[in-house]
Amino acid sequence: MKIDRDAEEWASLRKLLVASFNQDFAEIWGSPEDVVLAFCRDAPAESRAAADAIATLLDGTADDTDTLRALEPLGRDHRPEAAGWSIRDWLAEVERVLRDPTPPTRLNERRGPSWRSRSTHGH
C-alpha cells in the first residue's frame, strides 16, 4: 500500500499522528488515551475520517512491517512499539476509540514480555 501524504483521505490521520501525537504530546495532553480522547472531543468529524483511514490502512497492509512502511510518508513522533505494542494492534485500538471515545481504553497499556519483566524486576 502506498500512502500519498497530501491526499485528503489521509489528512485526519496525519493530523492525529503528527500534530496530536507530536514529540511533546505527553507534556501537552498527557497519556496516549488523553490524546485520542481530546482529538475526538475537539474534532469529531476528523475523528471519524481518521478511523476510516486506519481501517483502510489495516485492510491494505499485511503485517507490522508492511504497516510501518505504509505509514512512513505521514511521519510520526510517537512510537507505541516502544511500549510493547504491535503497530497494527495499537492502530486497531486507536480506531476503536476514535469510533467510540468512551474510556477506559487500552491505549495506556504497556505490552509484551520486556515490559512485564521490567516491572517485575523493579526497573
Residue 49 above 90 pLDDT? yes
Q: 88-103, pLDDT tens digit by residue?
A: 999 999 999 999 999 8
Quick one: pLDDT at residue 103? 82
Residue 36 located in a structural domain? yes
Does residue 45 lie in a domain region? yes
Show the domain range for 82.
Answer: 8-120
Q: Does the pLDDT value for residue 123 go beyond 50? A: no
Q: What rounded mean pLDDT belongs to the chain?
A: 89
Alpha helices in 1-123 (DSSP H): 11-14, 25-28, 32-42, 44-60, 64-71, 87-99, 113-120
Please, which pLDDT band fits residue 29 given cuts at 50, 70 and 90? confident
Tell me whether the omega of the peptide bond preceding residue 44 falls within 30 degrees of 0, making it cis: no
Q: Is residue 1 part of a domain?
A: no
Q: Is residue 3 part of a domain?
A: no
Number of independent structural domains in the chain: 1
Q: Write down the pTM of the prediction.
A: 0.88
